[in-house]
Amino acid sequence: MNVNTMNVDYSTKIPNNVNLSEDRQVLKALEGWHPGYMNWWSDMGPEGFQQSLVYLRTAYSVDPRGWAKFDYVRMPEYRWGILLAPQEENRVIPFGENYGEPAWQEVPGEHRAMLRRLIVIQGDTEPASVEQQRHLGKTAPSLYDLRNLFQVNVEEGRHLWAMVYLLQKYFGRDGREEADELLRRRSGDADSPRMLGAFNEATPDWLSFFMFTYFTDRDGKMQLHSLAQSGFDPLSRTCRFMLTEEAHHMFVGETGISRIVQRTCEAMRAAGISDPTDIARVRALGVIDLPTIQKKLNLHYTLSLDLFGSEVSTNAANAFNAGIKGRYHETQIKDDHRLQNDTYPVLKLVNGEIKRVDEPALTALNMRLRDDYSQDCVKGMLRWNKIISTAGYDFKLTLPNVAFHRAIGEFKDIHATPDGVLIDDATWNKRKSDWLPSTEDGDFISSLMTPVTEIGGYAPWISPPKVGIDNKPGDFEYVKIET
């Protein structure tokens, strides 16, 4: 490992560990893109608070033992840099038709279009989430949460830089055009929306934000893991470092939901409520009832499932065969990494019933990644349910069946209950507000979203965190608000 590639050069306008000062052409392209990025940040980044000092971490190294520095920064002055994990010596392509051959340092001509498409799709999600979350600062339940929101936002901004670097360095003119397009599309815009469904949905409140960071950022984690396996080495290295930052985003989601559940349980106990489904009584306490949390979970989980694409996909097979996109933990899987003769069970609709059908493993790669994702989702939920059972309540948050509320794949044309029972349109229309947040649920949650900006204070619907960021005490001023 070359020590020089671990530390980041902050002398150029764009901090980097890719030797940009000697790569004049790419440096020029990135510097040309920079003003557009700053315009995008001021138009579509967090609303308000741009002059506030925020206690943020900035990556200063890619050494896993210590890569971040915490300090007060105004968001527009955040050092968005290009950081790649160190190059692994003699790395080989870990899967596909070119299995075992040296990893590519340049884009292989025959896979150029596919590679560019995957990078653009990943890149598009990064600014999209910043746009979706831009209004949340106004209703933050504490300075701690406000800071976490902004940390996630600036890092998604950096992830956009990461993808733009790859486009500008390795894809020439069309790469530069794609980089410009990434700043032009807008989440939820009728004419030029972001590329994927979940990234055009609103994030109207903080429960949604935590669900989004838990479920949708976790889709990002799975995609980054698959791309981190890529035979195209610069992409692999880029994604490996992004994953380091991404972990915090999911932490924000997991602990955010934990704290909401905790607070709800405490309030119910204090009020002597024994039935957690007595929604009216629970809401009267000014906390979010567990059934409503389940509905939000149903929504965000299923929107995130759609991000994995069709269960059976020749695109996924092609990207694997080409050595471009691998499986979750590919190098730890014990098989031939070519999958030519393997099968994988896929849930499909067969004669009106949900059945498991063996499909060629290559075309079932999206399904496999989605299964890995669902398993990963379950882990944090165990903690939420532990809080509920410890408080003495017989209620369990669960993941809905994958046939429920889908817009992509096998089940997009049918309706199913969260338990996976197929139902007709009329039943769906009658019952869907039992399973997904209704306007009324949204209004109730919105009614709780009053900001708390006093140091060490928390909104009454959420518990304080167990530990502070960077081990700071409970009365730490995470954001010095300047208006």
Given the rule CB under 5 A, which of 132-140, 171-179, 239-247, 312-320 is the region that contacts Fe ion?
Answer: 239-247
Q: How far, CA to CA in Å, does 134 sit from each of 76, 124, 207?
A: 14, 16, 15
Residue type, 266: E
Query: What's the rounded Cα separation, in Å, for the pair 451 and 216?
Result: 24
| Minimum CB distance to Fe ion, residue 374 (Å) | 19
| Minimum CB distance to Fe ion, residue 252 (Å) | 9
| Minimum CB distance to Fe ion, residue 218 (Å) | 9
Given the rule CB under 5 A, which of 92-100, 231-239, 247-255, 287-295 is the region that contacts Fe ion?
Answer: 247-255
The residue from 111, 116, 186, 249 that contacts Fe ion (CB under 5 A) is 249
Nearer to Fe ion, 152 or 267 (CB): 152
Binding residue count for Fe ion, defined by CB under 5 A: 6
Q: Which of 236, 226, 233, 201 is nearest to 215 (CA)?
A: 201
The residue from 217, 233, 410, 441 that contacts Fe ion (CB under 5 A) is 217
Nearer to Fe ion, 246 or 289 (CB): 246
259 binds Fe ion (CB under 5 A): no
User: What residues between 100 and 159 interact with Fe ion by CB under 5 A?
Assistant: 126, 156, 159
Query: What's the rounded Cα separation, in Å, for the pair 257 and 37?
Result: 32
Q: Which of 272, 274, 270, 304 is nearest to 290 (CA)?
A: 274
Query: What's the rounded Cα separation, in Å, for the pair 104 and 184?
Result: 31
Nearer to Fe ion, 227 or 319 (CB): 227
Contact 355, 346 (CB under 8 A): no
| Minimum CB distance to Fe ion, residue 162 (Å) | 9
| Minimum CB distance to Fe ion, residue 238 (Å) | 11
| Minimum CB distance to Fe ion, residue 249 (Å) | 4
Query: What's the rounded Cα separation, in Å, for the pair 162 and 171?
Result: 14
205 binds Fe ion (CB under 5 A): no
| Minimum CB distance to Fe ion, residue 422 (Å) | 34
Bridge partners, 57 (sequence order): 70
Task: By CB under 5 A, name the binding residues for Fe ion.
Answer: 126, 156, 159, 217, 246, 249
